[in-house]
Structure 1
């Protein structure tokens, strides 16, 4: 094939391609939908109205969870999380759960109300301590079932503030939570002034102070209960208190002495890559302490063992 013949066939192919393009263009123009009138040029194309969210009836009391029904959801991809949150007008929603298989028609979507606490000025140490206590269901119920007593004793302000925080735990009213947290810390700071300011504190020290003050109210509340011919059971004593037996052994003569100590918590040293059991075993290992024995020895070994365990 000569160069001239090759160029001729190429030109013919290009012409055929252009001809098909012109034909296709004419076909599209023939079947094109006529535009709307001039006065409707700016009119937007009607869109399908968003599905409305029907809120199920619920009681006036705060609930841990709220059920919402979204009718006619074909699949999860058609549901935008932001749109749901805006429709519910919940600014502090923090958990959104759905089934792995996606949503079907008439699916029930469970939205868990925010259980967090606002930061009232570097108060994360207080918030984390209260969250830990509120997560102990039996412990909290131990106070709740004895409201008949501590609600009428003026000195039991700390318990009333604690239960008020519990009642607002599932509320979305963060201003209310902020006021209650500030009031709780104010009552606690009467006996422990170091927590009165807005500076960061140690969470372990705060938690220990809370439990100690709750325990210190037990004798007074028991006296008030005796007047009513009833009894008071301290939830701290019943759920969190445990005893450790400390045994000290003289390295020279072998004489032992034992002492019983009461705790509501233990400070464990972290073991890299270890479990809680390993940290407890390390806590119970024998350590050397300086102690002047009657035999003249100055060194003793000391170890701690659980006398009883907390609930």
Structure 2
């Protein structure tokens, strides 16, 4: 029973971590219709910015805020300087570009910050709570992670469903030409979409790094699991991203706890293949095609 409880709580915490990154992928997909594989190294760069600020003697929260601000600026810069310049007549071109940016950002981080492992602080405890003689596998930082992801989900749902800005972002992504005819500043909406997605990605990088070690490749495994979580829930659904992250986190936690950690990657691949075969749009995708 103790192992089951520990495995479940660990899976929930891990699932919210995957959900944070999946939300960033969903954000960029809903606002630009691009799968941004460079999201992970962008988050890694902003995490290093936070670590630099903290190492300079400032508080964790100043570093936290600095990472989010830099993420916003980085998202705008990438969209305006690079993504906007690529030929979008072929849908695969922007995706290939993000794969190239993945490599470039890795190299930049290694040159600027070095390749050694560095400890990243956490604002709350990273030890499980003790109830009598039992230690519960839920930490203070884990609770902070859960609350941060839920708050981000609520904000994204409010943005896309109840604001004119969210509607314009979605319209720009689905049909840029018609949106321009209707007076929508498509360029600004796309830049805003990249900026907000980069902010959410920066949040995921900070949550993953908290209380652990960072290096230029520390976010790489999250690309795979976060992408699987996003596809599992549906790339067009923020709620699905969180649900997909939780389901994947629980699944991989039980696989690791009862079958062996060496099977975790295989389990994630099987989940992805199963979803693509049974429901390619994701478990929470709308059955009707969305039109703008």
Provide the TM-score with structure 1 as the length reference: 0.21
Which protein has the bigger helix share? Answer: 2
Which protein has the bigger strand share? Answer: 1
State which structure, 1 or 2, has the greater radius of gyration over its C-alpha atoms.
1
